């Protein structure tokens, strides 16, 4: 019997980057038939049943979403024969018809149901670390009460309870690595009879699946053995990496991000996934092998000039009492990102100042209007609006250097990140389409994102896609600093504390409120004259915000 197989729920749209089967192939239930890649992750799509591929409805490069036609599968005879067998049993045993009602009494006594609580979509395809478990077995919790705290490479977030109830069992462990869909705990929900009754109804479905699941049963041992051999092979091959065309590397976004963090060229990494696909473990094994190689031959590495001389280790305890305080994961990742940007980007910083006397008067005059709208109007929304205007006017600042180094990728959107100081480290939430929003909208969104950052509720998606970054230290102090460009962006604006200064107007010195500006930029993309024009124009716009209306 032929059956049309459609794309299951993927949570979004994806591109077909790999076809794992062809017409005529026999497949098992849950066997992967293709690989889709979205903006955030790559995933393999399985078939729900065993059978033979009769027709493929997709090709490489197609973009698919839930419900799209995937393939035509000739389902094997086991499933169709299930109905006649069941009918025969029913005919021979008249009491079989009474069997279904017998299931119902089992569910009836349950006045409350035990519900599995899973990790929701956390915006990343990889694993994140459990840094806090906030409940224990026996605790009574309310709906939306935080259960655990997770920390990813970019943010920490608290996972809330979907309903009120009593914690039956906490499955998740502190410091465990978990991903979307992993079980957190079992929750006894009061008055959940409907949910409890739904479980037995779904239970008979797997009864027809043992025939298909038996063959894969032997696979974990084989897979473990193959994985171990592949890991060893990857580590060994990494010492003498193969030469490959980097543009044809098969790897998902999460793997590419890992490679960027370690500064690894994926073209040199042997892939152990299906058809040579590079896995996250392959990158890690490659890095381990390279570190071991460097450790085995430190003299050769130093002579080659490829590395940076390490800072010597010092036993500080011999000078006095010390305490070792572990860095949070956010701080570790932030340090690695800043170090990578500093090493890869030729930084130059342009210093200037803007007369914001009239701007501050305007901000104060609009204070009542902002409060009526329920927001606090600070200088940040005004800076965001001014910078968005300049990113449109000077598009090189709204670009990134192409990986080839031979072209600029100019962005047709204006998303701006702003630095937020939190107890766990520096976070940079991103406001999208800044050029299309009003000052009050920007003020409200900036306040909301900053609060989420400080309370560990900022999702990874909220910190991606920036074209430009603003780092303001004006509320603390200082007369200037040299911010590090957040690559692949090409510029970042540092803002220091505004002070009243005497400014010569041609006849006399006048007291003016001057705002120090520090524009760091990637000298491969931006030259000094362009940077000077940017800060000069920014000063003009901030000096008279009405020019944005022209």
Buried b (16+ CB within 10 A) or exposed e, 262-279: eebebebbbbbbeeebbb
Instruction: Judge whether 118 counts as a catalytic residue.
Output: no
Structure tokens at 183: 């079980």
- Cα distances from 322 to residues 313, 317, 326, 367, in angstroms, run 15, 6, 13, 49
CA–CA gap between residue 473 and residue 101 (Å, rounded) = 70
Going by their DSSP bridges, the two strands 416-418 and 468-472 should be labelled as parallel
Q: To the nearest 10°, report the CA torsion of 415, 420, 426, 429.
A: -30
What is the phi/psi pair of residue 158, to 5°?
Answer: -100, 140
Contacts of 63 (CB under 8 A, 6+ apart): 13, 14, 15, 16
Are 256 and 280 in contact, with CB atoms under 8 Å apart? no
CA–CA gap between residue 359 and residue 352 (Å, rounded) = 17
Are 244 and 267 in contact, with CB atoms under 8 Å apart? yes
Catalytic residue (choose from 250, 389, 475, 523): 523
Are 56 and 19 in contact, with CB atoms under 8 Å apart? yes
The 3 state secondary structure assigned to 355-392 is ECHHHHHHHHHCHHHHHHCCCCCCHHHHHHHHHHHHHH
Report H helices in 51-189. 78-92, 99-107
CA–CA gap between residue 353 and residue 370 (Å, rounded) = 27
Contacts of 447 (CB under 8 A, 6+ apart): 375, 376
Residues serving a catalytic function are 523
């Amino acid at each position: 019997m032929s059956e049309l197989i459609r794309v299951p729920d993927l949570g979004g749209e994806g591109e077909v980057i790999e076809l794992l089967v062809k017409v005529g192939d026999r497949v098992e239930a849950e066997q992967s038939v293709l690989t889709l890649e979205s903006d955030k992750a790559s995933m393999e799509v399985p078939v729900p049943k065993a059978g033979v591929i009769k027709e493929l409805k997709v090709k490489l490069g197609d973009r698919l979403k839930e419900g799209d036609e995937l393939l035509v599968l000739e389902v094997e005879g086991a499933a169709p024969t299930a109905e006649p067998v069941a009918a025969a049993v029913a005919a021979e045993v008249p009491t079989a018809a009474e069997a279904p009602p017998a299931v119902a009494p089992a569910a009836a006594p349950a006045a409350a149901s035990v519900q599995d609580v899973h990790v929701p979509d956390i915006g990343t395809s990889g694993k994140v670390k459990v840094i806090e478990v906030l409940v224990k077995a026996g605790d009574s919790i309310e709906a939306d009460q935080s259960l655990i705290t997770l920390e990813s490479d970019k943010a920490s977030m608290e996972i809330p309870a979907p309903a009120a109830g009593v914690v039956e069992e906490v499955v998740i462990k502190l410091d465990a690595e978990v991903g979307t869909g992993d079980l957190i705990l079992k929750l006894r929900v009061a008055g959940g009879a409907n949910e409890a009754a739904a479980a037995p109804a779904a239970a008979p479905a797997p009864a027809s699946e043992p025939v298909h699941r038996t063959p894969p049963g032997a696979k974990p041992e084989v897979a473990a053995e193959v994985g171990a051999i592949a890991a060893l092979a990857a580590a060994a091959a990494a010492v003498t990496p193969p030469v490959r065309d980097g543009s044809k590397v098969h790897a998902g976004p999460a793997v590419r991000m890992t490679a960027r963090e370690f500064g690894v060229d994926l073209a040199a990494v042997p892939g152990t996934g299906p058809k040579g696909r590079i896995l996250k473990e392959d990158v890690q094994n490659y890095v381990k092998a390279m570190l071991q190689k460097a450790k085995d031959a430190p003299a050769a590495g130093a002579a080659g000039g490829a590395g940076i001389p390490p800072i010597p280790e010092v036993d500080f305890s011999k000078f006095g009492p010390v305490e070792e305080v572990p860095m949070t994961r956010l701080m570790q990742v932030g340090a690695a990102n800043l170090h990578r940007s500093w090493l890869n980007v030729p930084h130059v910083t342009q210093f200037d100042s803007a007369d914001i006397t009239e701007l501050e008067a305007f901000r104060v005059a609009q204070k009542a209007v902002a409060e009526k709208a329920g927001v606090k109007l600070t200088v940040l929304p005004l800076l965001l609006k001014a910078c968005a205007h300049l990113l449109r006017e000077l598009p090189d600042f709204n670009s990134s250097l192409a990986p080839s180094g031979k072209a600029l990728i100019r962005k047709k959107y204006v998303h701006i990140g702003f630095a937020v100081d939190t107890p766990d480290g520096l976070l940079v939430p991103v406001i999208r389409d800044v050029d299309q929003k009003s000052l009050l909208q920007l003020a409200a969104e900036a306040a909301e994102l900053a609060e989420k950052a400080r309370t560990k509720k900022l999702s990874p998606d909220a910190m991606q896609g920036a074209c430009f970054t603003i780092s303001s230290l004006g509320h603390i102090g200082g007369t200037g600093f040299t911010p590090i460009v957040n690559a692949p962006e090409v510029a970042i604006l540092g803002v220091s504390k505004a002070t009243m200064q005497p400014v010569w107007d041609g006849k006399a010195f006048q007291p003016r409120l001057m705002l120090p500006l520090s524009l760091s930029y990637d000298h491969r993309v931006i030259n000094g004259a362009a940077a000077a024009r940017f800060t000069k124009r920014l000063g003009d716009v901030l000096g008279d915000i009405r020019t944005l209306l022209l």
